[in-house]
Structure 1
Amino acid sequence: MTAATAVALEADGAGAAVPPVIELRDVTRSFPGPPEVQALKGINLTVSDGDYVSIVGPSGSGKSTMLNILGLLDRPTVGEYRLSGELTGGYTEDERAAVRARRLGFVFQAFHLMPRRTVLENVMLPMLYSGMPRDERPARAREALERVGLGHRVDFLPGLLSGGERQRVAVARAVVTQPRVILADEPTGNLDQATTADIMALFEELHAGGLTFVVITHDQHVADRAARRIRIADGRMSELP
């Protein structure tokens, strides 16, 4: 039994099971019409701490809607989303923002780096919202950049970096607050084949260090590198062997 495939047991005398880090129960997300569109249809998904999951499917299949719900950027129309056992449906917008800042890290296709801020300043930005004391932020950001192999680029502006380096900055920004889960939305969509391989190797290294990954992609080669593979088609989910 490994951390990536089983629910861990707490080391207390009772041996109570730790809840999944992510759990969707009968989640449907509808958008009003006419006609009404069901982007997700009765989704059930459990992700344990330490899992590495890819969600693959064509454009319009519901992948982005799934990511928005997992990232607390959207709410299910029907069903429940529990994060580390906590029901999220009752969170206020401020509570959702606080949970995103502390428990979730995001990596996007378009990097979303601030062009007039240095690499170090970009990586420090999430700590403004996570409650990290100001005097601790630079050291934490430098540590995250060292972790992704960019400790020598701290004073560069993003425009001076390659695409792969910019995505590494984005990964450092995602991990700097020590989240439970990394949500990656088409993280290799703007990268060439060789750089894609580098970024996926970085993901695997971080996963081996204990991070939980959920990667949304249309690229089957990227999806196949995950320990668990899920396909979405027409809003319905199936787990691949």
Structure 2
Amino acid sequence: MLALRGVGRTFPGTPPVEALRDVDLVVHHGDYVGVVGPSGSGKSTLLHLLGLLDRPTAGDYLLDGTPTRDLSEADRSALRGGRIGFVFQSFHLLPHRSVLDNVLLATLYSGVPRAERRRRALEALERVGMGHRLDFLPPVLSGGERQRVAVARAVVAAPRVLLADEPTGNLDSANSAGVLDLFDELHRDGLTLVVITHDPEVAARAHRRVRIADGTLREVS
């Protein structure tokens, strides 16, 4: 599904910063991959490349067999919107919009009628255990609840892969376990997951683990 071949990412500067170098990684349909490494190791850069939020400066990235490096921004956006869901550490929910509205906004440009979009949003929120909080605003929710809403927003468009960047970084241990249990459920339902984390316990939930350090990647299990 996702294939990085000799990928590098260098940021300009004096001197230039080589964030990733010669990275090879294949993620198959149905995989649950944990990418673990310390702060500054290149984890977020890797996620941005996998999510088509950035372009490599070396190597190739194929998504479902499609080379992406030279695609136009419009084509990359369409590919990203149709196949990739994102969950971030900071939730990125709109504070003055309801839980339901936050999820509905993720379907706004889908071309699907509003009634169907609403049905899908309600289904996604029920799936993550947030169907009883539809009219709540994010600031009154716990961190774990906000992250569940963020997961619902990520999966409402039925992506083929979910990319999560430190998804438990702002949560206590109980809420972290709840979010990871939810990831387990989504994976059992067939969703492909790639979870970026500095926490070995979070990575241990994955079925495959790779370690990144100083911009280089190696499979550890």
Quote how far apart the aligned CAs of 1:89 are. Answer: 1.4
What CA distance in whole angstroms lies between the structure 2 residues aligned with 1:129 and 1:89?
A: 24
Q: Which residue of 2 aligns with 1:58?
A: 38
With the length of structure 2 as denominator, give the TM-score of the two structures. 0.98
- Describe the SS at the equivalent of 1:110: coil
What does residue range 100-115 of structure 1 map to in structure 2 within 5 Å?
100-115=80-95
| Structure with the larger RCO, 1 or 2 (CA within 8 Å, 6+ apart) | 2
Moved over 2 A (4+): 129-135
**Unaligned residue ranges in structure 2 (runs of 5+):** none
What CA distance in whole angstroms lies between the structure 2 residues aligned with 1:76 and 1:131?
A: 31
1:89-136 residue CA offsets vs partner (Å, 9 max, x unmatched): 122111111112111000000000001111001001111133333231
**Amino acid aligned to 2:90:** A
205-214 or 126-135: which moved more? 126-135
- Describe the SS at the equivalent of 1:126: helix
Q: Which residue of 1 aligns with 2:49?
A: 69
Percent of paired sites with the same residue: 64
1:120 aligns with 2:100: yes
Number of equivalences: 221
With the length of structure 1 as denominator, give the TM-score of the two structures. 0.90
Q: Which residue of 2 aligns with 1:18?
A: none
What CA distance in whole angstroms lies between the structure 1 residues aligned with 2:51 and 2:133?
A: 29
What CA distance in whole angstroms lies between the structure 1 residues aligned with 2:111 and 2:199?
A: 36
Quote how far apart the aligned CAs of 1:220 are. Answer: 0.8
What does residue range 31-180 of structure 1 map to in structure 2 within 5 Å?
31-180=11-160
**Unaligned residue ranges in structure 1 (runs of 5+):** 1-20
Q: Which residue of 2 aligns with 1:16?
A: none
1:186-208 residue CA offsets vs partner (Å, 9 max, x unmatched): 00000001110110000000000
What CA distance in whole angstroms lies between the structure 1 residues aligned with 2:76 and 2:115?
A: 26
**Amino acid aligned to 2:55:** R
Quote how far apart the aligned CAs of 1:33 are. Answer: 2.1
C-alpha RMSD over aligned residues: 0.8
